[in-house]
Structure 1
Amino acid sequence: MQGESLRLWDPLVRLFHLSIAGVFVANYFFNEAGNDWHVWLGYYAMAWLLVRSVWGFVGPRSARWADFWPTPQRLAAHLRSLLKGKPQHRLGHSPIGALVMLLMLLALLVIGSSGFLMQEVDVLWGADWPLQVHETAADVLLALVCVHVLAAVFESIQVRDNLPLSMLTGRRKRLPEERAQ
C-alpha cells in the first residue's frame, strides 16, 4: 500500500492558496504599484481573504480555524517535538505552520487595507504613511512566505511526505501509524 493517500485540502483552500500566491508574486515582482492590474488583483486578494475567513468557520475540518489554531499548548508541544527530533505529523497545519499562516493572512489584510486607503480615501491623498505601511507589510509578507516555503520543505523531509504537493493535489500520503488507526 505504498501509494495509499487520504484527502486533506479541499478545493476552496487550494484555490485560495494558489490565488493568493499568484497575486502576491504578480503584485510584488511584476505589477507597478498603483496601476490597474495591481489594484484589481489587490481587491481580488481581499475578496479571497474574506471567503477564506468565513470558510474557516464553515468549511471542512482541515480548513477550520479551531482545528489548527496555534494555542500556547499546541505551539509548546510542537516545538518540543522538533527539538527532540521527533516531528509531529498531523493532518493540516502544524501549530508553528498555523502561526506563520495566520501572520501571513494578517500581513495580507494590512496590505489590502493600506492599499485601499491609498487608492480610495481622498483625504489621505499624498500622505506617506499608507504607502510606508503598504510596502513594509509587503516586505514582511515576502519574508513570511520564504519562511513558509522553507518550513514546508524542511517538514516534508522530516515527516517523509511531500507537503507542498499535497496543497496542489489535495491529498497526502497515509503514514503506517495512520493506517493502523
Structure 2
Amino acid sequence: MTAVQLQKKEGSRPSEAASGTVKVWDPIVRLFHWTIVSACILNLFILEEGKYWHRQTGYVVAVAIVLRVIWGFIGTRHARFGDFFPTPGKVRAQILGMIEGRERRYIGHNPVASIMMLGLMALLAATALTGWMTTLDAFWGDKWLEEVHGAIANGIMMLAFIHAGAAVIESWRHKENLVWSMVTGRKKA
C-alpha cells in the first residue's frame, strides 16, 4: 500500500505519511490508560487498603472509566468501541492468524487486545463499585464484600501482567514499540 493510499484509508495527513507513522491514540485515550496504570500501581502495591488515599484513587478510577465509556461513543476513530468491538469471527480469525504466524495487523486494538481492554474496564468498574459499597452503612464490616473487592483487584493484577507481557511480545513480533505508542499516540503506518 502506498503512502497516499494509507493516508486516504487511515485519514492521516501528508506529514504523517511521510514520517511513516500515523496518529492512533488521542490524548484522552492515553490519559485514561496511564491514569489507570498509575492508580493500579498505587492501590495494589503502595497505598494502604481502605484508607483515605486508596479510596480517593478508586474514585479517580471510577471517574476515568465513566469518561472513557463516553469517549468510546463520541471520541476519535480508534477510541470508539465500534472501531474495535471483538466479534467472535474477528477473534477467531485473529487467534488462528496468530497460531499460523500471519495475523492481520491492526492500527488500533486487535480483537484479542479488545477483549483484554473491555475485560479490564469491567473489572475496574466492579472494583470501584465494590470498594465504594464497603463505605456504605449497609455493608459496613461485611467481610464477604471486602473479599470480593480483593478478588476482583487480584484479577485486575493478573490481567494487567498478561496485558503488559502481550504488549512486549507483540512489539517484538510486529517490530514496533506498542508501549511507546501509548506515550506518543503514534504507531508505524
Normalising by structure 1, we get a TM-score of 0.93
Quote the offset at 1:2 in angstroms. 9.0
State how far apart, in whole Å, the 2-side matches of 1:3 and 1:138 are: 41
Residue 136 of structure 1 is aligned with which of 145, 151, 161? 151
Matched-pair contact (CA < 8 Å) for 1:87–1:159: no
Equivalent residue for 1:160? 175
State how far apart, in whole Å, the 2-side matches of 1:18 and 1:105 are: 13
State how far apart, in whole Å, the 2-side matches of 1:155 and 1:128 are: 40
State how far apart, in whole Å, the 2-side matches of 1:123 and 1:161 are: 50
State the superposition RMSD in angstroms: 1.2
Determine whether 1:114 maps to 2:130. yes
Gaps of 5+ in 1: 175-181
Quote the offset at 1:140 in angstroms. 0.3
Gaps of 5+ in 2: 1-16
State how far apart, in whole Å, the 2-side matches of 1:106 and 1:129 are: 20
Quote the offset at 1:44 in angstroms. 0.6
Equivalent residue for 2:101? 85
Quote the offset at 1:74 in angstroms. 0.6
Determine whether 1:145 maps to 2:160. yes
Equivalent residue for 1:179? none
CA shift digits 1:61-85 (9 cap, x unpaired)? 1000011011101100101110111
State how far apart, in whole Å, the 1-side matches of 2:50 and 2:99 are: 45
Kindly report which structure 2 residues correspond to 1:37-116, keeping only aligned pairs within 5 A, or say none. 37-116=53-132
Matched-pair contact (CA < 8 Å) for 1:87–1:158: no
Q: Secondary structure at the match of 1:88?
A: coil
CA shift digits 1:92-138 (9 cap, x unpaired)? 1110011011111111011001000001x101111111101110000
Quote the offset at 1:4 in angstroms. 1.8
Residue 185 of structure 2 is aligned with which of 141, 145, 170? 170
Q: Secondary structure at the match of 1:6?
A: strand
Q: Secondary structure at the match of 2:134?
A: helix
The one-letter code sitting in structure 1 at the alignment partner of 2:84 is F
The structure 1 segments of at least 4 consecutive aligned residues displaced by more than 2 Å after TM superposition are: none
Normalising by structure 2, we get a TM-score of 0.89
| Identity %, equivalent residues | 35
Quote the offset at 1:158 in angstroms. 1.2
The one-letter code sitting in structure 1 at the alignment partner of 2:165 is L
